[in-house]
Chains A and B, each alone.
Chain A
Amino acid sequence: MKRLLVCLFPLILFTNISFAIIEIDITEGNREPLPLAISEFFHDNNQEIIDKKITENIRTVISDDLERSGLFSSIDDKAFIQTNRAMHLKPRFADWRLIKAQGLLTGELAIEDDRLRVEFRLWDTFAEKEIEGLVLITTIDNWRRISHMIADKIYERLTGEEGYFDTRIVYVAEEGPKNKRIKKLAIMDQDGANHKFLTSGKELVLTPRFNPVRQEITYLSYFKNLPRVYLLNIQTGIQEVVGDFPGMTFAPRFSPDGGKIIMSLAREGNSDLYVMDLTNRVVERLTDSPAIDTSPSYSPDGKKITFNSDRGGSQQIYVMDSNGRNQKRISKQGGNYATPVWSPRGDLIAFTKFYQGQYFIGVMRTDGSGERLLTENWYQEAPSWSSNGRVLIFYRETKANDAGDGHSSSIWSIDLTGFNERKIITPVDASDPSWSKLIQ
């Protein structure tokens, strides 16, 4: 992975004192998207900017990010009345209100010492005020990340929540017939750009998960027919097996500080949970039941672990202290539950539920109350949270016919509200998505 050369210089942090009229309550489902006018950024006829279509590209990435969130709509620039550069200094607010824009984004680009300087301002067209503004300086080819960062700033300013656009997704890319499926690790930006395969497909690989603090992934590989948990450094490409265990290790996930991996170890037909400290390689056993204990996930404060177990006779969700004490079942609504994942906000656990032959992605509070099912389908599982805890991605499979054809697998996203379900486009079939935190 290319080293990320982003300097974030908040040289001009424009005043934020105005009370904004435009604000979005994103806990409220299915609201009308807020109309924004996102203008192309001005520049002094810079040839490189023109050649690389940077103005158009930045506008596209920003408006696509915001539109995909379901919270904003981007007004067609053909409707714009004011198009002159003066708008970046002081827009004619009435013109923008006329085309129903509640917010207006303006900006200027320049290339200085081979670096791209991007300045943007977000205007509240009703309060007639600038409500956000920033200067970002980066390498020229980094315009895409800058665009995501600007989209994050806009999202943050208008929703009061942290954005999640400057993030990446690691997943398993799948090809070939079901009985001879080739699986590779792949990584891409949250919007599908910068797609890259990380493994060759020679070995079966499953369930990659991001380290929340480092450019690192943990996953399951069948290297040499020994299914074990591995670590992959995304920048160097170096892979290493995690620990020296006498059986299959699987279902890995990092602790919130990125310093530990929690996983299942299968021994003689019994799967229990273990945690390994990556610094001193000390392994601790956390559960000791004759049942299957798997799919562990830490709470964001690292004090609790939620996991999947069939110790009560069917697959259910449990919570325990991070040292393995106080194990107790929290799923209660009937049906089977799996793949619990603790929200980065700490208040919810997302899960897969199967009930009467259908599969659901849902959320519940950490004591099991308040269960809400967000989406139902023939097969879907493995939710992963956006860094701000507002969106979930998961994978969904279609049913094969009796000849085994017609099967496909793809990644989807859905808002915590249960609205805005979208397919994430990938070059080949996709499963086991894991969503990164905001890139540092």
Chain B
Amino acid sequence: MVSTFQNYTRYLVIILFALFLAACETVPKDTASSSSTSSSSSSSSSTAAVEIQDGVYVGSDTVEMLAIDVPDRIFFAYDSHSLTKAAQNTLEKQAKWLKANGSVTIAIEGHADERGTREYNLALGDRRANAAKDYLMTQGISSSRVTTISFGKERPVNSGSNKKAWAQNRRSVTVRTN
């Protein structure tokens, strides 16, 4: 699976590329994520609170509750399926709730933002849903209770074309199936 290694090689590639094109001012791959990290405060959102950290949405605007204090979704950085601390925290709450409600079955929907090709985003959504599922399994939830489905970029929660919308759309959502 991922990642530090992959990220590491990615940066290596980028550094090599930057060396190769000495005049090049921006690195190719990470334009979207790096810009979303750096300019979250300058985006047009009216709230003063930081809503995007390291490319990951940390607000609560779109979040719904499966039960009291059990958020239904986690958020991801651009083109990433790594679980942030906050995501792990949310999944731990979901696991606890699932343990307390042993008959509940769930589907985890993986979603991507609109900045990427359709087919790749289907695969990326599948990665994200499975990253969440894997974490629930490490928390003792049986895989038989969890299905996954990727919607790629087909079902955004925020229809805007801005950094906040994209960050809100890079998500996996846990929904009850019974």
Nearest CB of chain B from residue A108's CB, rounded to whole Å: 49
Chain A interface size band reads 35 or more
Point out the residues of chain B lying under 8 angstroms from A432, CB to CB.
118
Known contacts A225-B149, A269-B131, A313-B9: A334-B160 contact under CB 8 Å? no
**Contact yes or no, B120 A294, CB < 8 A:** yes
Could you mark each residue 62-87 of chain A with 1 if its beta carbon is under 8 Å from any beta carbon of chain B, else 0? 00000000000000000000000000
Write the residues of chain B forming the contact surface with A, with a CB cutoff of 8 angstroms: 1, 6-7, 9-10, 12-13, 17, 21, 24, 26, 28-29, 31-32, 35, 44, 79, 81, 114-120, 122-124, 126-127, 129-131, 134, 149-151, 154-162, 165
Q: Which chain B residue has the least Cβ–Cβ distance from A291?
A: B6
Point out the residues of chain B lying under 8 angstroms from A271, CB to CB.
123, 126
Point out the residues of chain B lying under 8 angstroms from A207, CB to CB.
118-119
Given A248-B150, A405-B159, 19 other A-B contacts at CB below 8 A?
A179-B157, A207-B118, A227-B150, A247-B126, A269-B129, A270-B127, A292-B123, A294-B119, A295-B117, A313-B29, A338-B117, A338-B119, A354-B115, A381-B117, A382-B118, A397-B114, A399-B161, A400-B159, A407-B161
Q: How far is the CA of A357 from the CA of B163 in the complex (A)?
A: 12
A-B contact pairs, 9 of them (CB 8 A): A183-B154, A206-B118, A269-B131, A294-B120, A334-B21, A338-B116, A356-B31, A382-B118, A404-B165
Q: How far is the CA of A335 from the CA of B31 in the complex (A)?
A: 10
10 nearest CB pairs, A to B: A404-B159, A269-B130, A313-B10, A178-B159, A271-B123, A338-B117, A266-B126, A292-B123, A335-B28, A399-B161
**Contact yes or no, B9 A312, CB < 8 A:** yes
**Contact yes or no, B13 A314, CB < 8 A:** yes
**Contact yes or no, B126 A181, CB < 8 A:** no
Nearest CB of chain B from residue A360's CB, rounded to whole Å: 12
Q: How far is the CA of A407 from the CA of B134 in the complex (A)?
A: 35
Quick one: which of A177, A178, A294, A432 has the most chain B CB within 10 A? Answer: A178
Known contacts A248-B149, A338-B120: A355-B28 contact under CB 8 Å? yes
Nearest CB of chain A from residue B116's CB, rounded to whole Å: 8
Q: Among the listed A295, A334, A335, A357, which residue makes an inter-chain contact with B120, where contact means beta carbons less than 8 Å apart?
A: A295
**Contact yes or no, B158 A404, CB < 8 A:** yes
**Contact yes or no, B32 A251, CB < 8 A:** no
